[in-house]
């Protein structure tokens, strides 16, 4: 009373699918048995291949020209970006030098201010 895997498999497949599978297998068999007939089934592919072989050289050269133009434009853009990066770096160095110089000036002014404050305090203490 054991069922084989084929029996259980065939019962789980709906009837429409069985017919579709059988039709597909029949179509494949027709293609294998009648190679001349199979060429008649695909006339559109042959026409497309004929058209593509005639214009293939032109499209390849056009593709190469387009690719070269795109590469030249991208090279120009990359060069421009590198130029902008270098210019920005130079300006940042100038700003950092100015800030460092101003920081030294501020430190000098703080020292002078503290000397003045000390001197004023001494003068106040001497007058009192």
Its pTM surpasses 0.75 = no
Question: What's the token pair of residue 26?
Answer: 């029949």
Write the CB contacts of 41 (distance below 8 Å, at least 6 apart in sequence): 31
Contact 37, 30 (CB under 8 A): yes
Quote the CA–CA distance of 31 and 10 in Å, as a whole number: 26
pLDDT tens, 1-12? 444 444 444 555
How do the domains of the chain map onto residue ranges? 61-127
pLDDT tens track for 32-91: 665 554 445 445 454 445 544 555 577 888 999 999 999 999 999 999 999 999 999 999
DSSP category for residue 13:
S
């Amino acid at each position: 009373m054991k069922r084989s895997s084929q029996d259980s498999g065939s019962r789980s497949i709906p009837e429409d699918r069985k017919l579709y599978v059988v039709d597909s297998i029949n179509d494949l068999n027709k293609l294998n048995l009648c190679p001349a007939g199979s060429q008649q089934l695909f006339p559109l592919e042959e026409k497309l291949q004929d058209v593509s072989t005639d214009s293939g050289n032109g499209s390849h050269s056009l593709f190469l020209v387009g690719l070269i133009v795109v590469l030249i434009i991208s090279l120009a853009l990359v060069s421009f970006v590198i130029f902008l990066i270098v210019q920005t770096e130079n300006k940042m160095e100038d700003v950092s030098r100015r800030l460092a110089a101003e920081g030294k000036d501020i430190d000098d002014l703080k020292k002078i201010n503290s000397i003045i404050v000390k001197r004023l305090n001494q003068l106040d203490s001497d007058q009192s």
